[in-house]
Structure 1
Amino acid sequence: MAPIPTPPAQPHDDPESYVGLDAESAESRARGRGWTTVRALPPGSIITMEFVVGRLNFEVDAGTVVRCWLG
């Protein structure tokens, strides 16, 4: 049987540090810190809940990040 692959490490980052930033600045900062996927979502979006290593999610309201979470 093949070994289970080890996922790459995520950047060491505090998601709360993005709250209050404008969406464009937050995405630029996240990519600069090593996040491979950055997803901006409007409030109340229906999304799947799978965890994706290296993805940072932003809830953006009126151009400002109001919530941020990993995966």
Structure 2
Amino acid sequence: MSRRSADTWRDPTRAELAAIEREWPAIAADLAALDAEIAAILTADTPAAAGVLPLTARPTGWREAA
């Protein structure tokens, strides 16, 4: 991993790049799981998107403006 301090910058070493390559499948799997969790949360927060309510449904007690 590149390291940066106030006055220096260096590129990652071959060993660091190899470690990233070895870790990448686990990182990708974690990202996919996170994407699925976000999609589930968004679906739960959007009943119409989940097919729970039709898009024209109104909340209980809805009144038209006078």
Structure 1 and Structure 2 fold alike (TM over 0.5): no
Give the structure with the larger strand fraction: 1
- TM bucket by the smaller chain? under 0.3
